[in-house]
Amino acid sequence: MTRLRGLYAITAPELTPGKELLTACAQALAGGARLLQYRDKQASPALRLARARQLRELTHAHNALFLINDDPALALACQADGVHLGQGDTPLSEAREMLGAEAIIGITCHASLALAEQAMAEGADYVAFGRFFHSYTKPGAPAATVELLQQARSAIALPRVAIGGVNADNAPALINAGADMLAVVHALFGAQDIHAAARQLAELF
């Protein structure tokens, strides 16, 4: 079974305040998330390192992949499996040099096949398109269409992530259009029952 497939949970510490972050992530992983990304735009560097180390242990216990958003140095420090980079983040080549050939590096491509082709040529391990729907987490992210995902299926020979407003109702259309992973924040960590929400999304794969 390929490693880069399934539910990709992305943290939102503001939705799970204080020490509940670890519990919330444990519920998402127990519900079937195969990848977890630590995304935290607010905590101090020291708190981010402490949280990343805890989440690293937790993902090991669930045999899930662990990626860090934005920050290859933090990924290195906590021995994450990789990093997710946006177009304005550290260049892929620099992150690859820091983390090595085995690291998983994912790249945001918004709604652009050209960006995905570039990421592929530069050695990315997956590409991410979106946002596909209204996103509570990042409402201003550039919009992508399901048709783009269908085009990417034949044009981009890398695992493809769909992100942005993904929930259990709209997820099947994204999987049918060629999404290998569904990256979810609000429909997961904003749910009353995180475990049930994760299971519902994970069972679609």
Binding site per annotation, positions:
37-41, 69-70, 89, 108, 135-138, 165
CA distance 48 to 99: 18
- Verify binding: residue 86, Mg ion, rule CB under 5 A: yes
- Verify binding: residue 70, ligand LCLJCK34, rule CB under 6 A: yes
Residue 166 interacting entry, from ligand TZP, Mg ion, ligand LCLJCK34, none, C-beta within 5 to 8 Å by type? ligand TZP
Angle (deg, nearest 10), helices 20-30 and 45-61: 30
**Shortest Cβ distance from residue 89 to Mg ion (Å)?**
5
Q: Toward ligand LCLJCK34, which CB reaches closer, 19 or 114?
A: 114
Residue of the chain from 16, 27, 69, 112 that contacts ligand LCLJCK34 (CB under 6 A) = 69
**Shortest Cβ distance from residue 101 to ligand TZP (Å)?**
26
Q: Toward Mg ion, which CB reaches closer, 107 or 194?
A: 107
Q: Which residues, in sequence order, are CB contacts of 145 under 8 Å at separation 6+? A: 111, 132
Residue 184 interacting entry, from Mg ion, ligand LCLJCK34, ligand TZP, none, C-beta within 5 to 8 Å by type? ligand TZP
Counting Cβ atoms within 10 Å, is residue 101 exposed (0-12), middle (13-18) or buried (19+)?
exposed
- Verify binding: residue 86, ligand LCLJCK34, rule CB under 6 A: yes
Report which residue type is found at 120: M
- Verify binding: residue 70, Mg ion, rule CB under 5 A: yes
Q: Which of residues 146-205 bind Mg ion (CB under 5 A)?
A: none
Can you name the residues that pair with 126 across neighbouring β-strands?
Answer: 106
CA distance 172 to 166: 10
Q: Per DSSP, which regions of 109-178 are E strands?
A: 126-130, 160-163
Site residues for ligand TZP per CB under 6 A: 130-131, 135-138, 141, 163-166, 184-187
CA separation, residue 11 to residues 14, 25, 114, 149, 205 (Å): 9, 8, 28, 24, 21
- Verify binding: residue 39, ligand LCLJCK34, rule CB under 6 A: yes
Can you name the residues that pair with 96 across neighbouring β-strands?
Answer: none
Q: Toward ligand LCLJCK34, which CB reaches closer, 37 or 200?
A: 37
- Return the closest-CA partner of residue 37 out of 154, 181, 199: 181
Residues in contact with ligand LCLJCK34 by the rule CB under 6 A: 8, 10, 37, 39, 69-70, 84, 86, 89, 106, 108, 128, 138, 161, 163, 183
